[in-house]
Amino acid sequence: MFVDPIKEGLAKGWLHIDASQLGKDAVLEADVCIIGTGAGGGIAADVLSSTGLKVVMIEEGMLKSSTDFRMLEAEAYPTLYQESASRKTADKAINILQGRTVGGSTTVNWTSSFRTPAPTLKHWRERFGLTELTDEHMAGWFKLAEQLLSISDWTAPANENNSVLERGGQKIGVKVERIRRNVKGCYNLGYCGMGCPTNAKQSMLTTTIPAALSRGAVLVSRARADRLVWQGSRVSALECTAMRGSGYDEGSARVRVTAKHFVVAGGAINSPALLLRSKMPDPHGRLGRRTFLHPSLISGADMGSKVEGWSGAPQTMYSDHYLGTQPVDGAMGFKLEAAPVHPVLYAISVNGMAEHHRARITNMTNTQVMIALCRDGFHPDSEGGTVKLLGDGFPQLDYGLNRYFFDAAKRAFLAMAEIQFAAGAREVFPVDERINGYRSWAEAKAGLEALDLRPLSTRVASAHVMGGCAMAASETDGVVNGYGRHHQIENLSVMDGSVFPTSIGANPQLSIYGLTWRNAARLAGDMRRG
Amino acid sequence: MWTRRRVIFVGVAGVLAAGAAVVLPRLKSAGPAPAGVELVANHTDMLRAVALALLGPALPTAGSERDAQVGAVLKACGALIDNLPASTRREIGDLFGLLALKPARALLGYGGDWPGADSNVVNAFLAGLRDSSISLKQQAYFALHDMVLGSFYAEPTTWAATGYPGPPKLA
């Protein structure tokens, strides 16, 4: 039986408040209040608490840990994901997988770890005045995170789902490389997306949050951050509502946190939404703008023999070939990866109904699934989406898919089909309602080139949410500066993926870890000096 | 509280209803977001017909087992809806409300009754929503597709036919 470090820690006296169990209002006081416990909030909590600062962490999701993770989609999606893993953009054309639990998306991600690509940092330096963010400067921060989270080469054989990408890429001269993963003693089960039951994944849940709690930090789960109370240039308090049950119903208790400094780390979409609800100053209209998703296309392939895409490390191979075939700010590039194949996610992704759907799903064992993650935010025609508030204050991302995107989508479908056929696929089915499947590369090429891809019919998904509180040297271009400090409010920082001024062009967790570590270390120094 | 999406849904309902000279007073009431269990209970006939059409040969042909699996899907749909934000629950409530009203759903493409509906006819109706150039009709199709098929394949009893062995046993 595996130990559960969270439950052991709680038994030892870690300070955790489940706000859904509060019988009355609660008031907390801290040096730093961190809102959100994902990649940004987790690193910030660790770095800040290690300098002796008193930290309170606020999380809307539940505290679930390894012994709760039973590798069942029916349990994982409603309890660990935003909107039961069915969060969508305003026109419902993009489905967003984003975590909503202690540890945020790091609790449910597929462990892929990439440093921020050099072309991305270069673009930020040139376009957003972030001149300090050189590869050399950031390397030290990435290295710290890599050491803490055991990020290293994955040396075990790739599962067949990933091997198809490698094999097909080799056949057509497309370079495919191995993904580094944040795991220690991984059992190679394939259920990273449902919470790691063996504690092998070095997520925030198993590393930084326990470190902060062991230093006396307080964790409040099931508390929704409603608004920051501010006056002049300072925030005085955070007001939260306790949640009830596992979903979105409100409880009756309120939680109020006063602190010297506030770190917003709710992830893109939720971080800008909190600042919007708080009516934070936004003199240049940057808040909630330029939210990016790596909008992704899906291509299935019948390989004619067992793939068993549910088994084994979900992502171990990638190709950046199509990111480098044109300039970063030219036609939209895309990264290729494999995606795990489990019944619910697969059943939702497969097009059609009745006989057609059934035929696909009864062949799930032999099905390989490839995804193309499009790099958004580098071209004038790729402005991303805008976070808005619904009448009840709930956020909604309005992200229009335009011709610039669909040009990339078509190239991505073509690239994936070519690779899948080169690897031996008998049939390839790019996920669009109008495609029933192609039996050869020639047929796929002709069919795809004739097809006018469009929102909804072409299935688009995202697991990476970035931007909305962009950093920029000048306050006219961003919400925060290069250290995540709010341009107008002096004791407010944003430390999560929402500070990225473009998408990353790679799975973003390590980019968030490295940048947050740097910015939290700077904040700790600033606070020490008063 | 009225959301923009809700206004659009009701707007479409209004346009559709105008042609049939029907008012849709139920859709115009604000108030708390509906609960999933309640929504499913109020729309069992519609959801059952849609589930039978979407699932087709995935369901056993025999009566009692077939009923049990459809019942499990409807129950899971209720649980899913309960874990969605209020704004989404309202949208789903609006959609179900439209499908419940014969004149409204006739304008969407299905004028028949839900109890005992012919699955082939319901399939054609769903395909019409899917292939429509009107975004809201497509959204309705995807909402039903994902809700029903996701709920069905979440059940371990459905896995054998997919080849999925279920999660590994940990020592």
Query: Which pLDDT value is given to residue B16?
Result: 46
Assigned domain for B23 exists: no
pLDDT at position B31 is 72
- The answer on pLDDT for B26 being more than 60 is no
Q: What is the mean pLDDT of residues A115-127?
A: 98
Mutate which of B122, B142, B152, B158 to disrupt the A interface (most A C-beta within 10 Å)?
B142
What number is the average pLDDT over the span B48-71? 95
ipTM score for this prediction:
0.95
Task: Pick B123's closest partner by Cβ from A70, A84, A353.
Answer: A353
Question: Would you state the pLDDT for residue B21?
Answer: 33
Looking at every residue in chain A, the average pLDDT score rounds to 98
φ, ψ (nearest 5 deg) of residue A477: -105, -10
pLDDT in tens, A254-269: 999 999 999 999 999 9
Q: What pLDDT sits at residue A1?
A: 72
Mean pLDDT of B143-156: 97
pLDDT at residue A422, rounded to an integer: 98
- pLDDT value at residue B30: 57
Strands A26-35, A249-264: pairing is parallel
- Over residues A392-418, the pLDDT tens digits come to 999 999 999 999 999 999 999 999 999
B170 within domain boundaries = no
Is position B152 within any domain? yes
Under an 8 A CB cutoff, do A354 and B82 touch? no
Q: Which residue of A has its CA nearest to B36?
A: A247
pTM reported for the whole predicted model: 0.96
* pLDDT class of A530 with cuts at 50, 70, 90: confident
Confidence of residue B62 (pLDDT cuts 50, 70, 90): confident
* Containing structural domain, residue B45: 33-157
What is the number of structural domains in chain B?
Answer: 1
Residue B168 lies inside a defined structural domain of this protein: no
Model pLDDT for residues A193-235, shown as the tens digit of each residue: 999 999 999 999 999 999 999 999 999 999 999 999 999 999 9
User: Above 90 in pLDDT, residue A370?
Assistant: yes
What the block records as the tokens of B162 is: 């997919």
Residue B5 has pLDDT above 50, yes or no: no
Dist. CA A225–CA A133, nearest whole Å: 31
Q: How many CB pairs under 8 A join A and B?
A: 132
Tokens 């057509």 sit on residue: A172
What digits encode the pLDDT tens for the residues B91-134? Answer: 999 999 999 999 999 999 999 999 999 999 999 999 999 999 99
Q: How far away is chain B from the Cα of A396, in angstroms, using its nearest Cα? A: 10
Question: Phi/psi zone of residue A377: left (φ > 0), alpha (ψ -120 to 50 degrees), beta?
Answer: left
Which residues touch B31 (CB under 8 Å, ≥6 apart)?
Answer: none
CB contact under 8 A, B149 and A348: yes
B163 near A CB under 8 A: yes
Least Cα separation, residue B20 to chain A (angstroms): 27
Residue B66 placed within a domain: yes
Chain B closest-CA separation from residue A362 CA (Å): 4
Closest-CA distance, A498 to chain B, in angstroms, reads 22
Mean pLDDT of A356-361: 98
DSSP characters over A450-481: H----BTTB-EEES--EESS-B-SSTTT-SB-
Are residues A433 and B84, on separate chains, in Cβ contact within 8 Å? no
pLDDT tens digits, residue range A76-93?
999 999 999 999 999 999
Q: What is the pLDDT of residues A341-351, one digit of tens each?
A: 999 999 999 99
Tokens linked to A114: 């990439």
Q: Which of B80, B144, B155, B162 to mutate to test the interface with A (most CBs of A within 10 A)?
A: B162
Task: Quote the mean pLDDT of chain B.
Answer: 86
The answer to whether the CB of A40 falls within 8 A of the CB of A268 is no
Q: Is residue B9 part of a domain?
A: no
- Taking the CA of residue A21 and the nearest CA in chain B, the distance in Å comes to 18
Structure tokens that stand for B6 in this block: 């809700």
Compute the average pLDDT of residues A270-286. 98
Mean pLDDT value of segment B142-159: 97
Average pLDDT over residues B137-150: 97
Best B146, B153, B155 residue to mutate vs chain A (most A CBs within 10 Å): B153
The reply to whether B14 falls in a domain is: no
pLDDT, residue A334, reads 98
Establish if B130 belongs to a structural domain. Answer: yes
